[in-house]
């Protein structure tokens, strides 16, 4: 079928919204009419570093829409159902069976079909798809039974879209991994969409939350979401000392969304003995003083997708939003799909927190 997709032809190149051909869904696959899709920093980071051998490529992994058709064997969703798209998992490996599908060993999120046949072509030539099992920067997407999650039809697609990655990452890191006790000190480094959702979840748990971010508007939102204090890291020469002074002691739990060396070093220095640091930002190598970590007894761990089971957490998040307890409207800026390059630039420049593209299929 003829659709429009935002194709990246070369690594670091622009999104080219152009007509392409999308295949029909095969066994286990689902055809979804995309109504909205969030832009995540992972999309933009991968665009910049993607191999030239896997271009042209369609990114996008925070899609939301309506099931148009299903392939053979699909039973979990049906045509006409409103859905949120998330990451893929095999549901049968050791990690999936243990309730940690974000660490699925099958490697499904950057691969296409097992037989190598393309889901997308342009002018008769293959276009790489299957990014997070969806490639949802498009008017329609081929998804899979395992990453297509039903949501209430009353839930706006603009709200549903970021639930499948950014929101569940921030919320899940707190509720599924860190699990702070009431009164615990928790510092969130970086108040983007992931960080702000972490602030919200930690405040709901009764933790004493401090948010660190250089942008005043984001610090204001962190306070609205329950942070007891915020810090502008550009206003101090010693961020760790500022964090400790604001808390009155070290940090029991830290969540770093930045993947910046200076921020990570401050998180280690500000940590309470036997504290923990959860790394959720995508970046390159980070270094630390082994002796500082050793003598403090710190735990440092990476967290992908909030270590959540999407089938469980996405309905939970939809319910929280419906109950007025998840103010995602404060984070989202809506752009027409055709303005994807402007939305991406605004996201990278910090002008928006969570850009969501409204797709008119």
Residue 159, pLDDT score:
98
pLDDT at residue 360 greater than cutoff 90: no
| Co-location of 339 and 273 in the same domain | no
How many domains in the chain?
2
| Co-location of 115 and 209 in the same domain | no
pLDDT at residue 144 greater than cutoff 90: yes
| Co-location of 143 and 89 in the same domain | yes
316 falls within a domain: no
| Co-location of 177 and 159 in the same domain | no
325 falls within a domain: no
| Co-location of 146 and 185 in the same domain | no
| Co-location of 160 and 176 in the same domain | no
218 falls within a domain: yes
109 falls within a domain: yes
Tokens coding 266: 């401050």
The whole-number average pLDDT for the span 104-126 is 92
315 falls within a domain: no
pLDDT at residue 253 greater than cutoff 70: yes
pLDDT at residue 187 greater than cutoff 80: yes
| Co-location of 177 and 137 in the same domain | no
Angle of helix 193-204 relative to helix 216-224, nearest 10 degrees, comes to 30
Domain termination site, one of 285, 304, 323: 304
Percentage, residues of the chain above pLDDT 70:
100
CATH number reported for the structural domain that contains residue 239 in this entry: 3.40.50.720
| Co-location of 230 and 153 in the same domain | no
The whole-number average pLDDT for the span 161-180 is 98
Range of the domain at 124: 2-164+331-358
Among residues 304, 303, 245, 238, the alpha carbon closest in space to that of 265 is found at 238
Q: In whole angstroms, how far apart are CA 255 and each of 29, 93, 300, 357?
A: 35, 28, 10, 28
| Co-location of 73 and 139 in the same domain | yes
Q: CB-based contacts of 342: which residues, under 8 Å, 6+ apart? A: 335
311 falls within a domain: no
Residue 107, pLDDT score:
92
| Co-location of 43 and 150 in the same domain | yes
The whole-number average pLDDT for the span 35-54 is 94
CATH number reported for the structural domain that contains residue 37 in this entry: 3.90.180.10
Tokens coding 120: 């997308």
pLDDT at residue 180 greater than cutoff 80: yes
Among residues 175, 149, 174, 176, the alpha carbon closest in space to that of 163 is found at 149
| Co-location of 245 and 205 in the same domain | yes
How many alpha carbons lie under 13 Å from residue 309 in its C-beta half-sphere?
9
Tokens coding 112: 């296409």
21 falls within a domain: yes
Confidence of residue 284 (pLDDT cuts 50, 70, 90): confident
Q: Point out the least confidently predicted range of 14-23, 99-108, 112-121, 293-302.
A: 112-121
Long-range contacts of 235-242 (CB under 8 A, 24+ apart): 239/212, 239/263, 239/266, 239/270, 240/265, 240/266, 240/267, 240/269, 240/270, 241/270
| pLDDT tens per residue, range 188-203 | 999 999 999 999 999 9
N-terminal to C-terminal alpha carbon distance within the chain: 12
149 falls within a domain: yes
Confidence of residue 112 (pLDDT cuts 50, 70, 90): confident
Residue 361, pLDDT score:
54
Residue 111, pLDDT score:
81
| Co-location of 30 and 100 in the same domain | yes
């Amino acid at each position: 079928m003829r659709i429009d997709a935002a194709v990246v032809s070369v690594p670091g190149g622009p999104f080219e919204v152009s007509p392409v051909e999308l295949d029909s869904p095969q066994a286990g696959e689902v055809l979804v009419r995309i109504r909205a899709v969030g832009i995540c920093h992972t999309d933009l980071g991968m665009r910049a570093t993607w191999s030239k051998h896997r271009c042209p490529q369609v990114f996008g992994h925070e899609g939301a829409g309506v099931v148009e058709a299903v392939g053979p064997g699909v039973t979990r969703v049906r045509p006409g159902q409103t859905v949120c798209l998330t990451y893929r998992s095999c549901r049968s490996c050791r990690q999936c069976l243990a309730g940690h599908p974000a660490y699925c060993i099958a490697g499904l999120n950057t691969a296409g079909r097992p037989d190598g046949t393309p889901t997308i072509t342009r002018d008769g030539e293959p276009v790489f798809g299957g990014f997070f099992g969806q490639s949802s920067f498009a008017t329609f997407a081929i998804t899979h039974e395992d990453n297509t999650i039903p949501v209430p039809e009353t839930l706006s697609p603009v709200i549903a879209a970021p639930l499948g990655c950014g929101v569940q990452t921030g919320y899940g890191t707190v509720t599924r991994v860190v699990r702070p006790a009431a009164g615990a000190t928790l510092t969130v480094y970086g108040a983007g969409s992931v960080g702000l959702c972490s602030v919200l979840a930690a405040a709901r748990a009764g933790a004493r939350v401090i948010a660190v971010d250089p942008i005043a508007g984001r610090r204001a939102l962190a306070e609205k979401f329950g942070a007891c204090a915020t810090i502008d890291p550009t206003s101090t020469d010693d961020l760790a000392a500022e964090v400790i002074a604001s808390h009155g002691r070290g940090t029991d739990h830290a969540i770093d969304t930045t993947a910046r060396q200076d921020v990570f070093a401050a998180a280690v220095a500000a940590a309470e003995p036997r504290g923990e640091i959860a790394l959720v930002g995508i970046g390159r190598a980070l270094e630390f003083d082994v002796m500082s970590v050793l003598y403090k007894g710190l735990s440092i761990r990476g967290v992908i997708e909030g270590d959540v089971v999407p089938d469980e957490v996405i309905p939970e998040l939809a319910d929280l939003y419906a109950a007025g307890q998840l103010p995602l409207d404060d984070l989202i800026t809506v752009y027409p799909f055709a303005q994807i390059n402007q939305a991406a630039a605004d996201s990278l420049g910090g002008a928006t927190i969570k850009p969501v593209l409204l797709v008119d299929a």
